[in-house]
Homo-oligomer: A and B are copies of this chain.
């Protein structure tokens, strides 16, 4: 469907992560290995927090990432300590900027890989469940944006894991009401610019792939010669749809039905259980 990555750590040029690794996200736009499709060419987006900026910059385009010169320029000149990047493979909804990830609301960013199964059946009901004060901010037509607005409605800004659990609960209930067996498939990343949460879940228990990077310290000891590691800080953490390279020891599967938190201090990896909304 799609591929994404999230980075948190000391400020790096975006291209250190986006372009330079052997199997970078840009390479994945043409040659994804673990996705449903090898090609993710239906638009892309990158969102980054800069110094002294509460709100992230979000740049989204409808063409493929692999040939986009502006993305290359931005990546080669912008540094950030927390950024998201996403490449899209549409499952039918229009190829337009408002359907590209990451989505932003205030200082929050959201991106998704997966799908609400038979979204056309539940779209209207889910739209009604969005808080009326948030409703006018929906600009696109994707299930992913709807999930974001439902999570915002259900308390994302106060309790991200709880809000995502309730969002999933609502989508599953709505899907089941329409006779959909496995209503949801998702890996989701969300951040407020300070902490970063990543979720892996599917109704069927067969979720899209999701990996987090091993601690940089450990990796450097294992692989002192790897270029892109040299520019990374000790607290650097990557969460990715698929590994950026074949480096032994570098990547760890996020288990089924779990979520991780990347934050000042210790990171955490916890079970994820949908809740009734």
Contact = CB atoms under 8 A, between A and B. Distances in A.
Interface of A: 30, 37-39, 41-42, 48, 50, 53, 56-64, 66-67, 69-70, 73-74, 76-78, 90, 93-98, 120, 123-124, 127-128, 132, 135-136, 138-141
Given A41-B41, A63-B62, A78-B78, A69 B97 contact: yes
A132 B124 contact: yes
Contacts of A98: 94, 96, 141
A62 to B, nearest CB: 7
A76 B57 contact: yes
Contacts of A50: 77-78
10 nearest A-B pairs in the assembled complex, by CB-CB distance: A57-B77, A96-B96, A120-B136, A124-B135, A57-B73, A59-B70, A67-B95, A41-B41, A94-B98, A39-B39
A77 B96 contact: no
A144 to B, nearest CB: 15
A148 to B, nearest CB: 15
Interface centre among A50, A56, A67 (most CB of B within 10 A): A67
A121 to B, nearest CB: 8
A129 B98 CA distance: 24
A63 B95 contact: yes
A215 to B, nearest CB: 27
Contacts of A39: 30, 38-39, 41
A56 B76 CA distance: 10
A67 B98 CA distance: 14
Nearest to A120: B136
Contacts of A59: 70, 73-74
B67 A61 contact: no
A63 B60 contact: no
A139 B98 CA distance: 11
Given A39-B41, A62-B63, 7 more contacts: A30-B37, A38-B38, A41-B67, A57-B77, A59-B73, A96-B97, A120-B136
14 contacts: A38-B38, A38-B39, A41-B41, A53-B77, A57-B74, A57-B78, A59-B73, A63-B64, A94-B96, A96-B97, A98-B141, A120-B136, A127-B127, A139-B141
A100 to B, nearest CB: 10
B95 A124 contact: no
Contacts of A77: 48, 50, 53, 56-57
Nearest to A138: B141
